[in-house]
Amino acid sequence: MSLDRVDADDDPSSSTDDDGFPPGVSLGTTHGGVRVLQIDDHPEDKPKCAKKLQHPASGSEITLIGSAHVSEASAREVSRAILEGKPDLVVIELDGDRLKSLLRSASEDRPAMHAARRVASVREAFNTLVNGQLAIVAGSLGYSTIGAVLDTRPGAEFIAAVEAARDVGATVVLGDRNQRATVGRLMARVRRGSTLFDELAKTGEFLGGETDLARADAATKRSGVQKAKHILEKAGCEHSEAVIKSALEILDSGMRGIPVRVDDLMRVRKCARRVVEYVRVESFNGNPTFSPGLSKVDSAKKMSIMDWATAETVIRERDLILATALQRDPTASSVVGVVGAGHIAGIQQLWDEVESSESRAKFNEYLNEWPTDAKPVDYTNRILSGVFGAAAFTTILRRGSAGAVKFAGALVGSMLTLGAVGTYMGASGLVALGRVAVAIEDASIRAAELGNREDSARAKGAFSNMIVRDAAVPYKE
């Protein structure tokens, strides 16, 4: 609360952040000229990434909180917005499977170790690859690793949203499509190609391509370490070279299976928190460097199908899905939406188009695991190629010279070997990632013990009385 109401912007003698007061306390001047202390009850919880929108049909208020999925500040902002606003609905950027997984991991004492168990050996990692679980397992390991570095739970803002919704009696709305659909659509476009991508390639009307930072890197020929140093410095990290060195030491220790030094972890943690908040705010503000779905690329620039498919599938399609979910119930008097900060600008762009028939048709199509623009499998060419290849190989074996037979055998053997080596390397990479994740988690636990802080694991069964609704379902014809 404040001791007196002041308008600091009207008085040049008002205090600034350099007055030496702790966060949330400042010295201001009233209109009568009296100097007073201004005290904010929750200085760290002021939302840095909040956007107010209105439902086009009902006019009800919709508050969007732009989050980073490993940000403790995001969780505080979300909790405060819901507890104070008491909305009817809380829309979160999750589907049912991910919500269950998140709540399950919230009750785990060791989320990184739990995720790493699925890739504890090359054989188990190979099974993960074969079963098409690479994206899910790698994502789980990645988030739990980052959570250990930052000393926060992955998806902490969603857990905070669910808890706060339960406390105020709000309904939790699942606003995102199933993760399998996102992965399936991405893989279909990358493997088969896309007719939409081909059309854009002809006209040069690409979105989500090269960013200003990428162009600057290309112009100055900055290395990976130099790029990292640049971002650290922009985020306000001190001693960026020492931070990068500690990060490399952590990676090396994890790969070699030796304990990670706590001082290395704490040095990286301090900087990583700044970087997360810097990226979150920049994404929220539409910085194309951190919002690949919004950036434009020069028509002369060649864009890979992987870059385009990622921006189209992971960012732009889900912008529409989330915007639709936020408007799906016009009877709600107020709504709080919790989405990644990088989706805010896209949602705002699409906001007035959601109720159109064209937008609804796109929404329905986006929920499918196979995109309509993915090129069909050309079985004729495959069959003909296989027949001619087999015939040629058989002819060489029967009538070819000894040298030709030897060459053909070596060629086939090399192809099989390359495939096996590639698969083995992919499986080994998952095992190594799991090892690094557990090593960092171990160091985080030791740091907590040294700091005499309790673990933040949630009690099991805390969410058994939630009301959950799914908004990512097709419109009926």
pLDDT tens, residue by residue, 43-62: 555 667 899 999 999 999 99
Q: Which domain holds residue 28?
A: 8-41
Would residue 260 count as lying in a domain? yes
Residue 46 in domain: no
Q: Which two tokens stand for residue 320?
A: 């529409």
**Statement to judge: residues 151 and 174 lie in one domain:** yes
- The secondary structure of 215-257 as a DSSP string is HHHHHHT--HHHHHHHHHHHTT-SSHHHHHHHHHHHHHHHHHT
Pair 408, 432 in one domain: no
Give the count of domains, the chain. 3
Share of the chain above pLDDT 70, in %: 68
Domain-located, residue 50? no
Residue 3 belongs to some domain of the structure? no
Residue 476 lies in a domain: no
Neighbour order of strands in the sheet with 89-92:
50-54, 61-67, 334-340, 89-92, 171-174, 468-470
Kindly state the tokens that stand for 363. Answer: 């929404």
| Claim to verify: residue 171 and residue 286 sit in the same structural domain | yes
Write the DSSP string, 98-119: HHHHHHHHHT-S-HHHHHHGGG
- Kindly state whether residues 391 and 285 are assigned to the same domain: no
DSSP 266-299: HHHHHHHHHHHHHHHHHHHTT-TTT-TTT-B--T
Which of these, 395, 417, 415, 391, lies nearest to 405 by C-alpha position?
395
**Is pLDDT at 338 greater than 90 in this prediction?**
yes
Instruction: Write down which residue in 415, 441, 462 finishes a domain.
Output: 415
Q: Are residues 284 and 350 in the same domain?
A: yes
Is residue 346 in some structural domain?
yes
Whether residues 385 and 371 fall in one domain: no
**Both 33 and 79 in a single domain?**
no
The reply to whether 33 and 124 lie within a common domain is no
Residue 11: the pLDDT is 41
Question: Which pLDDT belongs to residue 10?
Answer: 39
Closest CA to 430 of 218, 94, 137, 179: 137
Is the pLDDT assigned to residue 221 strictly greater than 60? no
pLDDT digits (tens, 9 = 90+) for 139-190: 778 888 888 888 887 788 999 999 999 999 999 999 999 988 998 999 999 9
Pairing of strands 61-67, 35-39: unpaired
Question: Do 448 and 391 lie in a common domain?
Answer: no
State pLDDT tens for residues 241-274.
999 999 999 989 988 889 999 889 999 999 999 9
